[in-house]
Structure 1
Amino acid sequence: MPQYKKLYTVGWGDYELLDAGGGKKLEKWGDLITIRPEKQAYFNSGISFTKWKEMAHWEFKEYKSTTGEWVNILHSDKKEWHIKYKENLFQLKLTSFKHLGLFPEQKTNWDYIQTKLSNQDRFLNLFGYTGAASCIARSTGAEVYHIDSVKQIISWAKENMNLSKSKDIHWVHEDALKFATREMKRGNLYNGIILDPPAWGYGAKGERWKIENKIESLLFVCNAILEKGGFLILNTYSPKLQLDEINRIINKTFPDSENEISELWMTTKTNKKLYFGNIVRLIKK
């Protein structure tokens, strides 16, 4: 059986994972602190929830698995604000589906991207979301293509590009697999690709997406458009894609690659360990 390691990512000056437990997590984003639901926090918190509520400005109350509302605890009127990561500035917003517009656990991938890209390279961000990876890739001088199926999210990503004083990212409102397939037919190649697909969702034209049904096709196409010596990063969150299944798919779609498959974790300031899904990094031979 293959051995999988735990890859730990860490916070930075403007973000800290303060505590987790009881199905929630306590996070510091710049000068605001939030409480959000977290299924992986099935253990006891390091600090009592009473203490959490003395610290937090906002708490997200979940009504269903995808909806809820933010409750103001410390009378903050700030619903949009910025946090910094290196030279980049990102806009955060209290959304109706608990997210703020940034996945801080991705810091480990942002750093990896910066070490791998140069100003001669082309980088593809599939399922690009609000563009943190795109902005960081662009800061290396690489040519960057950002793909997302939601227009409003692309608008948010453009805000982040402008806040980061970057420019000339190529924005594409399209289904990720359709775009990658077109690039394959055109013969276009990339030196780096990152995929952060949701477990399920909808394409730009309302197409139903389930990762377990599409991931092999997507990775086959990514192999075709990735330069030799180029890198690919895949993040997965679906319980239907366990590590052994991911390993099987990678060996099938990138048989000659040098790859590393890991669990992604973060340690809270109270020394609790929180799981954030699985991650693949590979170099195409």
Structure 2
Amino acid sequence: MYTFLTVQDWADYELLDTGNFEKLERFGKYILARPEPQAIWDKSLAQSEWDRSAQAVFKKEKGSTEKGLWLLKKGMPEQWFIQYQYGQMDLRFRLGLSSFKHVGIFPEQAPNWRFIYEQARQLKTSQPKILNMFAYTGGASLAARAAGADVTHLDAVKAVNYWARENMEASNLTDIRWIVEDAMKFARREVKRGNKYQGLILDPPAYGRGPNGEKWQLEDELNELFKLCGQLLDPTDNLCLINLYSLGFSALILENLVKQNFQLAGSGFQELGELYLQDHNARKLPLGTFYRFSTGSKT
């Protein structure tokens, strides 16, 4: 089943407007304007309204596609917290203005946090082991831990692991295992050890580097990564979530890789689709494809 998923009922987040390769967003009390390569249409609001509303605006450095700086209005902090609640899950995230336009959270992932929280609680294993790879600042790790899972958070960048730990503590959670490691090296080692996980969360970037300079290129590494993960996932009691953000990757590629490498016969729930955010003028901003499955049922 092909599904489109978006944010619902999140008091601390809104996508206000999109267009001209930018997006205008509210995170808690603060409104930010930053680049968005897929917003190729015109803005709904006048530029004067953007200028009036935005308390922080990201400007790219000349000649750079990603790096830049934030222009801040008076009273705009460089760090602040927002909250996300669903059921008994109550998460807090520390946001910050990075030099690569990111703020420490990808709000389109909120439907996946719900999936992780719901499905982890359905697993038969009393304290399921869940591995979150390319885990960034830990939204998925927090959702899994809030559901009672034994969580391993893996990211190659030490600084974002510290950031994720701040989010864990702010959310009144404990005992997530933090690993700074190249994802492929870790996965190969875990397969050799014969380790199994009841949950896998994969959110690989298009490109990147490991802690020791290891190169990651999505199209070169993804097939092997899926083969390894197929061996790591418990075939009888599991949940799995995979996100792809790369603009050139069709959801059909993701579907083929999943069906080739994972045992899906016992899965009670499978879903392939796209994540998007909708602005106040009902334009849908596409933000990646996903495949998720579990041995539980859809709730």
Normalised TM-score (structure 1): 0.94
Structure 1 partner of 2:36: 38
Aligned-partner Cα distance in 2 for 1:50–1:37: 17
Count of aligned pairs between the two proteins: 282
* 2:103 maps to amino acid: L
Aligned-partner Cα distance in 1 for 2:131–2:176: 10
Runs of 4+ in 1 over 3 A off after TM superposition: 255-259
Structure 2 partner of 1:120: 127
Residue 110 of structure 2: SS of its match in structure 1?
helix
Structure 2 partner of 1:270: 281
Structure 1 partner of 2:91: 88
Alignment root-mean-square deviation, CA: 1.7
Match of 1:61 among 59, 62, 67: 59
**Structure 1 residue 11: Cα displacement:** 5.7
Structure 1 partner of 2:252: 244
Aligned-partner Cα distance in 2 for 1:223–1:30: 39
Aligned-partner Cα distance in 2 for 1:121–1:138: 10
Q: Unmatched 5+ residue regions in structure 1?
A: none
Structure 2 partner of 1:110: 113
* 1:71 maps to amino acid: L
For residues 157-187 of structure 1, what are the alpha-carbon distances to aligned partners after superposition, in whole Å with 9 as ceiling and x for unaligned? 1111111111110000101121122111222
1:179-218 mapped onto 2 (5 Å cutoff)? 179-218=186-225
Check the 8 A contact 2:251/2:290 in 1, yes or no: no
Structure 2 partner of 1:29: 27
Q: Unmatched 5+ residue regions in structure 2?
A: none
Check the 8 A contact 1:212/1:240 in 2, yes or no: no
Match of 1:282 among 290, 293, 296: 293
Aligned-partner Cα distance in 2 for 1:23–1:66: 13
Aligned-partner Cα distance in 2 for 1:230–1:256: 10
* 2:96 maps to amino acid: K
Check the 8 A contact 1:110/1:136 in 2, yes or no: yes
**Structure 1 residue 254: Cα displacement:** 2.2
Normalised TM-score (structure 2): 0.90
Structure 2 partner of 1:132: 139
Structure 2 partner of 1:166: 173
* 2:54 maps to amino acid: A
